[in-house]
Amino acid sequence: MLLLRCYPRITDWLFEVSGIDLRFLPIYSYGFFVALGFIVAAAIAAWELRRREQLGLINFTTKTVTTGEAPTVSSLLINALVGFILLFKIVAIFLDKEAFGANPQSFIFSMGGNWLAGILGAMIFGGYSYYAAKKEQLPTPKIEIVKVYPSQQIGDLVVIAAVLGVLGANFFNYLENPEDYSSFAQDPIGSLFSGLSIFGGLIFAGIGFGIYAYVKKIHILHLFDSVAPGYILANGIGRIGCHVSGDGDWGIVNVAPKPDFIPQFLWSNDYAHNIINAGVPIPGCEGNFCNHLLLPVYPTPVYEFLQCAVICIILLSLRKKLTIYPGVLFSIFLIFNGIQRFTIEKIRDISDRELFHVLGFNLKQAEIISIGMVIAGVLSAAILLRIYRAHK
């Protein structure tokens, strides 16, 4: 069952259930579920933004678009370069699957590749770019002023969330675990996608959204309200990636007898075949990812997914009622997210985490931020509601 053992790569699962062996492709489970989370979050945010746009609560901006221009040298060169890089690497991957599977990052970022395929890719992409531009070319280029709504700019928000979210998550992880700086120096690209602190990603992405909203003249409170439900669900989907890959984000040891009414996957897990090779060897297993935990632990990522899904449903059920109070939905999100993370930290494995001494309490970084989020959510909701009611 998918939730009772680990599949570090999606292709491992595909091989087990179908016999199709694509394990040379490094489609890692964690990255797959994170990407899925981004897609779901973007869809929910765009859906909610469109609703608020139709109500006239979020204004559009305008931009000048020129159509019918002749092919430009810069456009042809960019497309040719993209085609060259893609085929240069893709063909090399299929010709040398073992080297790629052994170290995908090193293979991708090396100078090695298939030059003939790269040149062919440049010709195909560059040629098609020229053909498409000539097909649309007009005797006189047409200049139009078009409306641009925030829901049409969701791709920009996804990029901001991805880039700043990863950087922020790693920044907070390094604050909590300074020893990780050494691994960053040795492998900066790989380190960007390990040891993520979700709150750091939330804070950095939030700052990026705020700046983007200011530059694009988007109502920031409506934007944050629209993004909140999708974000919390994406967080939960990402946790499923942690669980399926077995990246160490699990709970404390749980050897208590399982009640009959609770499914095994919700009670405990030994995370067999985990990606970090934690625990002891599995008898008879050969190759990579052949360890499991000696003692089963609480599957906290599954709990987090369920918590996040419930919070998402609550936020979606409140969004229409709170539309007239911009920012209050996001305040409620802060409260729920803070409570969710604080409670789950009580049964998470913290053997490798530093504790901070605050007012006589030993707290984890996540617990401190959780408390801050709840306080910020309560205060902002109270202040906003007081302002809105005073102007009625």
What are the residue boundaries of the structural domains of the chain, listed by start?
10-60+149-390, 65-146
Instruction: Tokens 């969004």: give the residue.
Output: 319
Q: So what's the pLDDT on residue 169?
A: 73
**Which residues, 6+ apart, have CB-to-CB distance to 379 below 8 Å?**
none
Q: So what's the pLDDT on residue 164?
A: 84
Distance (Å, whole) CA 228 – CA 315: 8
Which tens digits make up the pLDDT trace of 75-101? 899 999 999 998 888 888 777 766 766
Which tens digits make up the pLDDT trace of 137-158? 888 888 888 888 899 999 888 8
Distance (Å, whole) CA 291 – CA 366: 28
Q: So what's the pLDDT on residue 354?
A: 64
Average of per-residue pLDDT across 179-195: 48
Q: So what's the pLDDT on residue 243?
A: 93
CB of 336 closer than 8 Å to CB of 392: no
**Which residues, 6+ apart, have CB-to-CB distance to 48 below 8 Å?**
225, 226, 229, 230, 319
Provide the H-helix boundaries in the chain: 10-18, 29-54, 73-95, 97-102, 104-108, 115-136, 154-176, 180-186, 188-191, 198-216, 220-245, 264-267, 300-318, 328-345, 365-390
Element (H, E) at 71: none
**Which residues, 6+ apart, have CB-to-CB distance to 170 below 8 Å?**
184, 191, 192, 195, 196, 197, 200
Distance (Å, whole) CA 197 – CA 99: 31
Q: What is the mean pLDDT of the chain?
A: 85
Least confident of 206-210, 294-298, 371-375: 206-210
Average of per-residue pLDDT across 367-391: 92
CB of 172 closer than 8 Å to CB of 198: no
Stated pTM of the model: 0.81
CB of 34 closer than 8 Å to CB of 301: no
Distance (Å, whole) CA 334 – CA 340: 10
Which tens digits make up the pLDDT trace of 115-139? 999 999 999 999 999 999 888 888 8
Which tens digits make up the pLDDT trace of 12-36? 888 888 888 777 777 888 888 988 9
pLDDT at residue 58 tops 50: yes
Dihedrals phi, psi of 249, to nearest 5 degrees: -85, 65
Torsion of CA 43, 49, 50, 52, to 10 degrees: 150
DSSP assignment of 205-243, as one string? HHHHHHHHHHHHT--HHHHHHHHHHHHHHHHHHHHHHHH
Distance (Å, whole) CA 315 – CA 377: 14
Which tens digits make up the pLDDT trace of 332-349? 999 999 999 999 988 887
CB of 52 closer than 8 Å to CB of 226: yes
Q: So what's the pLDDT on residue 191?
A: 47
- Strand partners for 164: none
User: Which has the higher per-residue pLDDT, 31 or 198?
Assistant: 31
Instruction: Tokens 């625990």: give the residue.
Output: 279
Q: So what's the pLDDT on residue 188?
A: 47
pLDDT at residue 189 tops 70: no
CB of 128 closer than 8 Å to CB of 65: no
